[in-house]
Every structure is written in structure tokens, then in C-alpha cells.
Amino acid sequence: MKSDFSLFCIVPLVTVAAVVQSIGTHYNVTFKGRLLCDGGGLRTLRPVKVLLWEEDGGQNATINPDDLLAETVAQRNGTYSVSGQTEEVGNIEPYIEIHHNCGGDCLIMRSYQNVTDGLELFGKGEKCYDAPEKPKKNNKKKA
């Protein structure tokens, strides 16, 4: 009897989820362009990561968080292309998040516009919050 009740509750939820998904619109999103560091390419930087997101309730939201659609690493000359797909009810607001060290520290910069003619990174963005470093091994020999 208890399993019949569980099935009775689950089937309507699955049906509602299927109906909502079928109402949603399929979107293909592409951001491509060139990143600049102090007017030049990215040759002297660590790899610059470009993540494509679709904005919902925020990346760390418990309910309806932003959707990570794709990620890539920019070429040394600064060019990048990142594409992803999503299904949403209503309009979407895609953005890219760029993880870079142009100007010293690790920075994260967001752009909601597809800037194709050069997006300057120097000193722009918020500080990265990196994971704590792993403890270093003690290489001392025991006496």
C-alpha cells in the first residue's frame, strides 16, 4: 500500500517536469572574440579560462542556480570561441566568465556582451577565491 502511494506522488511530478520541459525553448549560444592584456595578446599569462553561463538565480543559488553551458581556454593570441545549448522557459541571459591573471592577481571578470573586437582584461574583475593549498611534503630524512 505504501509503495502505491509513493508511485501516486511521483508520477504527477514526472509528468509536470516533462510538460514544463516541452514548453521551454531550445537556445544555442556562442560567444567569440579576442581578449587583450594591456593591449596585447595573452602570451605571458597562465592559461585564460572562459566559461559560458546562463544566468538564473546565481552560481551558488540553492534553487535554480546559473547553468554552466561550456568552457574553453583562450588561445595565446587572445582569441576564443565557446558555444553551448540550453532549454529555458522565457528568455535567457548568457554571460561569459573569464579567469585570468592579467595585472598580477587571479581575477574573474564577467561580460554579458559578445565583444568581438577586443576585450581588455588588465586589472579588471573580482579576486579569485582559490582552494587552500595542499600541505607540502616534508622531505627531511629521519635521523
Residue-range domains of the chain with CATH: 22-127 (2.60.40.3330)
pTM: 0.73
Grid cell digits, residue 60: 551558488
Average the pLDDT over 87-100 and give the result. Answer: 94
Average the pLDDT over 63-86 and give the result. Answer: 96
Confidence band, pLDDT 50/70/90 cuts, at residue 11: low
The pLDDT mean for the chain works out to: 82
Alpha-carbon distance of 52 to 29, in angstroms, equals 9
Q: What is the pLDDT of residues 17-47, one digit of tens each?
A: 455 556 789 999 999 999 999 988 888 888 9
98-132: string of b/e by CB count within 10 Å (b at 16+)?
bbbbbeeeebbbebeeeeeeebebeebbeeeeeee
CB 89 within 8 A of CB 54: no
Confidence band, pLDDT 50/70/90 cuts, at residue 129: confident
Q: Is 90 exceeded by the pLDDT of residue 126?
A: yes
